[in-house]
Amino acid sequence: MRHMAAVQPDDQNLPKGIQRSRPLPDAKLGALWDSIILDERLKSQLLSQAMLNFTLRGKVDRSVIPLHGVILLVGPPGTGKTSLARGLAHRTAESFQGGKFRLLEVEPHMLTSSAMGKTQRAVSDLFSQSIAEAAAGGPTIVLLDEVETLAADRSKMSLEANPIDIHRATDAVLVQLDALADRHPNLLFIATSNFPQAVDSAFTSRCDLVMQVPLPDREACGRILKDCLIGLGRTYPAIGKLPAAPQFERCAAECVGLDGRTIRKMVANALASSPQTAMNPGQVTIEDLFAAARAAKASRAHGGKDK
């Protein structure tokens, strides 16, 4: 109950469009950063770009370096973009001791409306008031998940579903990004998209960095699978020994083509391979894992993609 009381003020009475607000750094988000298996060079580039946002933008005129304070993570569903973004927020704040950073998480679907003009107004209010006020209070990082919802590619819109309002909402995002970039150098947006082709090119042009978060390669698949099994091994010791099995490398190779989330869910499918294993997960075998990986790939090939 004490823990609930401690976090309640951050999550109550939030402005429309803000799903969550929390102070940074946050060790739980640091664990997310560590859990995403990604080339360390990409992680280093990502963190360095975020750090540069808070060291350079307040000192160098935008006519010299036109930074907008926007990073865009793109890639297939399940590759860990949202977790990576949250972890990046923690790592960035951790790099500036005593900075009193804050993370705001935007829920874009709360802003959309079928009523003409309401989406545009909601977007404008979110950026010009809620986000601007947070940035005025100190270093602020804003997570824009599924950014194509707010910055849809206007060139691909049909003449249905209030296209004028959708156009205007995208326009509002772009106008507000420019205004915030001018007034608040201590503000960073981290946006994600599963469908970068659906994001308006004018938004992408404002991004200081667009990073592709790829499906894991053979080595990364092995690391994700091993991490999952060792984690389970803390509860079921026999599972923690499976990465040492001779067939482990073959099983990891079978995971190539799956995203990280699906690999971990595939392990859960293996634990449910029979009623006996479900009752005693420690009985799972490498062959169960291999069969589950094959089934996951077959499902993916037939369009049964994990959302």
Q: Which domains does the chain have, with CATH numbers?
A: 2-212 (3.40.50.300), 218-297 (no CATH)
Check residue 4 and give its pLDDT: 36
When pLDDT is cut at 50, 70 and 90, the band that residue 2 belongs to is very low
| pLDDT number for residue 61 | 92
* Residues whose CB is less than 8 angstroms from the CB of residue 199 and which lie 6 or more positions away in sequence, other chains included: 72, 74, 147, 148, 151, 152, 153, 193
Percent share of the chain, pLDDT over 90: 77
pLDDT band at 245 (very low <50, low <70, confident <90, very high): very high
Q: What is the mean pLDDT of residues 137-144?
A: 97
pLDDT digits over 261-286, tens only?
A: 999 999 999 999 999 999 999 999 99
Tokens of 112: 């959309």
Mean pLDDT of 211-215: 96
- Supply the pLDDT for residue 193: 96
- Residue 121: band (very low, low, confident or very high) from pLDDT cuts 50, 70, 90: confident
Q: Is 98 left (phi over 0), alpha (psi -120 to 50) or beta?
A: left
**For position 163, what pLDDT does the model report?**
58
List of E strands, the chain: 18-24, 70-74, 101-106, 140-144, 187-193, 209-212
Q: How confident is the model at residue 117 (pLDDT cuts 50, 70, 90)?
A: low
Residues 193, 146: Cα–Cα separation, whole Å: 5
Average pLDDT (29-36) is: 93
Q: What is the pLDDT of residue 149?
A: 87
